[in-house]
């Protein structure tokens, strides 16, 4: 089920009414409703893949309980290993099997050998498999580390794994944050409900008005890049940068907003990343739930920054390349990750990667300084060029696109209509840049009213005109 469909706007109020008006005082029934609703939400796409979520849930539920019973470190490691092997094995089989088979065949053909009768999977990738496998793995890892005690309440744990607002495209929640909220009684908060509706509206604006309007322009430019000049190709890359941002952050905003309606607080997943002044700051603002997941469950266990510069550089490359591979079974994603590693390294070497922890761009100012404009422009340009690899179907397409962009550059004569959407978004986000939860739009009631009236009008105007799946569903 998609957030930007009529079906969802029938589903959501139905669940809301049952949750708060039929089962307002019974936590067990509320959690059961969340679980059933989550399975309906996911099964609306393809009910057959519900078995994968259920199997992952059952295995990690019992593995965590067995960990709690055992005092032997060796057995606990074996149990954790079993959880990791199952979840990563399931992810690898459905998402990467064909990639490895095709790469193996290509390597042999390059060496002069012909391979016949290779078996590939003729099935679609289960939506959101990369998200919910990482979510349930956070549970077993935290139980192993004794950061969290396992729950014996299977319904609550299953609700955590399949929580419908963020099930298929995040944020990737930690068990230490979301599970305790599921296990305790919740009461309706009018303030949270209003905040949730604001975020839902803002997320729909970014998805329906901006991302879906830019999608046809992006598709045409990338699919026919040979017919356009370099200036138009640059526009195509910029449009994709905003399409994927509005598409993905829009989903996260809706997920956080819907969760607030039911009394849950999810982590922030985006904090205006295109106002970043270097790559380090960009990755603290972009897909935060994934970048912090890799930091806590891979980078730090590998040694982090504790064993000297060279070991740290190795770990950085591993993190970024694995992050790229997480996004998809294509060499383009790994090159995208490698590019970000190369962009991040200078910042790490000169200790500027954590420079902007305490303050945002143009702090307490209306406009940025010339230095900040240059920093943001440079960072955005580098990120945008890297997005070409992310969007392209193959390495050959990406390299041809970029070479034509630079070697055949002329001021664009077509596809200019998307610039208006970019300007509108950046103007609005600049005013909101210190408040990604939209808690304080303005102290003036009339300003807030006009803002939400404008957003609502635009969503209604564009709703259903161009309807596309959320980009991150494929991951």
8 neighbors 2 (Cβ within 8 angstroms): yes
222 neighbors 391 (Cβ within 8 angstroms): yes
Work out whether the CA dihedral 324, 326, 327, 328 comes out positive or negative. Answer: positive
Task: Centre a 10 Å sphere on the Cβ of residue 449 and count the other Cβ atoms it contains.
Answer: 12
Retrieve residue 221's tokens: 């430019």
Retrieve residue 17's tokens: 């009414």
Indicate which residue of 117, 287, 327, 340 is catalytic. 327
| Three-state secondary structure readout of 84-120 | HHHHHHHHHHHHHHHHHHHHHHHHHHHCCCCCCCCCC
Q: How far is CA 317 from CA 312, 313, 321, 351, 388, in A?
A: 9, 6, 6, 17, 20
CA dist 117 and 107 (Å) reads 16
3-state helix, strand, coil in the chain (%, to 5): 70, 0, 30
430 neighbors 255 (Cβ within 8 angstroms): no
CA dist 435 and 360 (Å) reads 11
96 neighbors 329 (Cβ within 8 angstroms): yes
Retrieve residue 263's tokens: 């009394």
* Angle of the 175-183 helix axis to the 129-144 helix axis, nearest 10: 90
CA dist 406 and 413 (Å) reads 16
CA dist 389 and 386 (Å) reads 6
The secondary structure of residue 227, as a DSSP letter, is: G
The DSSP H or E segment spanning 196 is helix 190-204
* Neighbouring residues of 153: CB distance < 8 A, sequence distance ≥ 6: 31, 183
The secondary structure of residue 170, as a DSSP letter, is: -
Retrieve residue 82's tokens: 């079993």
What's the longest Cα–Cα distance across the chain? 72
Retrieve residue 5's tokens: 């469909």
Active site residue 287: no
> Which residues are catalytic, by number?
327
């Amino acid at each position: 089920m998609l957030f930007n469909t009529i079906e969802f706007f029938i589903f959501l109020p139905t669940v809301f009414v049952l949750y708060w008006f039929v089962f307002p005082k019974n936590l067990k029934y509320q959690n059961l409703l969340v679980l059933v609703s989550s399975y309906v939400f996911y099964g609306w796409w393809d009910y057959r893949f519900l078995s994968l979520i259920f199997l992952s849930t059952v295995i990690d539920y019992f593995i965590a309980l067995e960990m709690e019973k055992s005092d032997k470190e060796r057995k606990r490691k074996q149990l954790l290993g079993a959880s990791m092997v199952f979840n990563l094995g399931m992810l690898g089989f459905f998402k990467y099997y064909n990639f490895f088979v095709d790469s193996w065949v290509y390597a042999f053909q390059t060496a002069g050998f012909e391979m016949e009768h290779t078996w590939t999977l003729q099935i679609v990738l289960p939506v959101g498999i990369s998200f919910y496998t990482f979510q349930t793995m956070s549970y077993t890892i935290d139980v192993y580390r004794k950061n969290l005690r396992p729950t014996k309440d299977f319904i609550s744990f299953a609700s955590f794994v399949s929580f419908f607002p963020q099930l298929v495209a995040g944020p990737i929640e930690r068990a230490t944050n979301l599970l305790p909220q599921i296990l305790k009684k919740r009461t309706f908060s009018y303030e949270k409900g209003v905040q949730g509706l604001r975020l839902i509206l803002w997320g729909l604006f970014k998805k329906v008005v901006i991302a879906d309007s830019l999608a046809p322009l992006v598709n045409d430019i990338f699919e026919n890049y040979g017919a356009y000049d370099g200036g138009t190709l640059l526009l195509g890359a910029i449009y994709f940068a905003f399409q994927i941002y509005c598409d993905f952050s829009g989903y996260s905003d809706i997920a956080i907003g819907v969760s607030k309606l039911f009394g849950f607080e999810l982590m922030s997943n985006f904090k205006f990343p295109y106002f970043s002044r270097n790559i380090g700051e960009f990755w603290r603002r972009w897909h935060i739930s994934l970048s912090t997941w890799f930091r806590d469950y891979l980078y730090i266990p590998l040694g982090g920054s504790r064993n000297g510069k060279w070991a740290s550089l190795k770990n950085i490359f591993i993190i970024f390349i694995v992050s790229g591979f997480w996004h998809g079974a294509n060499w383009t994603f790994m090159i995208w990750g490698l590019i970000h590693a190369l962009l991040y390294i200078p910042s790490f070497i000169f200790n500027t990667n954590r420079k902007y922890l305490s303050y945002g761009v143009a702090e307490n100012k209306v406009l940025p300084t010339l230095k900040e404009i240059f920093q943001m422009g440079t960072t955005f340009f580098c990120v945008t060029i890297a997005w070409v690899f992310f969007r392209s179907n193959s390495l050959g397409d990406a390299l041809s696109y970029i070479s034509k962009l630079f070697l055949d550059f002329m001021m664009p004569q077509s596809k200019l209509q998307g610039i208006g959407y970019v300007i509108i978004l950046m103007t609005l986000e600049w005013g909101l840049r210190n408040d990604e939860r939209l808690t304080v739009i303005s102290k003036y009631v009339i300003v807030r009213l006009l803002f939400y009236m404008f957003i609502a009008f635009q969503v209604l105007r564009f709703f259903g005109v161009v309807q596309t799946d959320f980009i991150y569903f494929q991951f």
